[in-house]
Amino acid sequence: MPVLPSASSPFVVLDACVLMSGIMRRLMLSLAAHGVYQPVWSERIGEEWRRNAARLWDIPLDVLETQWAEMNERFPQASQGDLQAYEAGLRYSDPKDFHVIAAGLAQRARCGLQQPPQVLVTTWNLKDFRRSELRRQGMDVFNPDKLLSQWWQDDADRLRASIRAIPADYIALGRDPEPLDATLHRERLYRLKALVARDGL
């Protein structure tokens, strides 16, 4: 049964490139629903995902719009609205990705927690994010494999149900059944694949 995130659950900005994969998107949203972390995004992140998914995967735009609306209904606190004020102080990361960092800064400022929360970005495009700049802002950035592997090592029980669901998610996306390790490999989750294999999942 899904649980509510605690105040100690990190906020994680999901870059558009992470949302592109149907498997990765389902996995990350499942983990959020189980309280592993609190998702963060912006309308611009959603626009980038929908535009690129429609172009690369030939998915009808109205289908993607429906999925985006469902994501926002499921996680109403995730979308950060206007981010211009939070982009203003950024200098060293790729300007095209200032809005991704700004979403995390906005969430931290607006979350209402007494103690500053942990705020991360997960992206496959690490080269576009200057880690030193994020750390000066009290944030950090990791690729999904690093992030998921760390969470598994911290407390694998929190991740097992979502990872067990991956083969069914794969079939639900219209693909032929395949072993879990093959899907994890295709998703570039190499560290996680090794950890899951050792666990016997």
In sequence order, what are the residues at sequence separation of 6 or more whose Cβ sits closer than 8 angstroms to the Cβ of residue 104?
11, 13, 40, 119, 120, 121, 139
Q: What are the extents of the domains in the chain? A: 11-143
Q: Quote the pLDDT of residue 2.
A: 39
Could you give the CA distance from residue 34 to residue 20 in angstroms, rounded to a whole number?
21
The CA angle 153-12-141, to the nearest 5 degrees, is: 75
Token pair 């949203």: residue: 29
Beta strands in 68-184 (DSSP E): 119-122, 139-142
Average pLDDT, the chain: 94
Q: Is residue 25's pLDDT more than 80?
A: yes
pLDDT computed for residue 13 by the predictor: 99
Per-residue pLDDT tens digits for 55-108? 999 899 999 999 999 999 999 999 999 999 999 999 999 999 999 999 999 999
Q: Which residues contact 197 (CB under 8 A, 6 or more apart)?
A: 181
- Residue where the block lists tokens 């870059």: 15
Reported as a single tens digit per residue, the pLDDT across 138-155 is 999 999 999 999 999 999
> What digits encode the pLDDT tens for the residues 154-177?
999 999 999 999 999 999 998 899
> DSSP states of 150-194 as a string?
HHHHHHTHHHHHHHHTHHHHHHHTT-----HHHHHHHTT-HHHHH
DSSP 5: P
CA distance 85 to 105: 10
Tell me which residue of 47, 61, 38 sits closest to 19, measured CA to CA: 47
11-143: CATH class: alpha beta
Question: What digits encode the pLDDT tens for the residues 111-138?
Answer: 988 888 999 999 999 999 999 999 999 9
Sheet holding 11-14, edge to edge: 38-40, 11-14, 119-122, 139-142
pLDDT of 7 > 90? The answer is no
Q: Residue 4 pLDDT more than 50?
A: no
Residue 22 pLDDT? 96
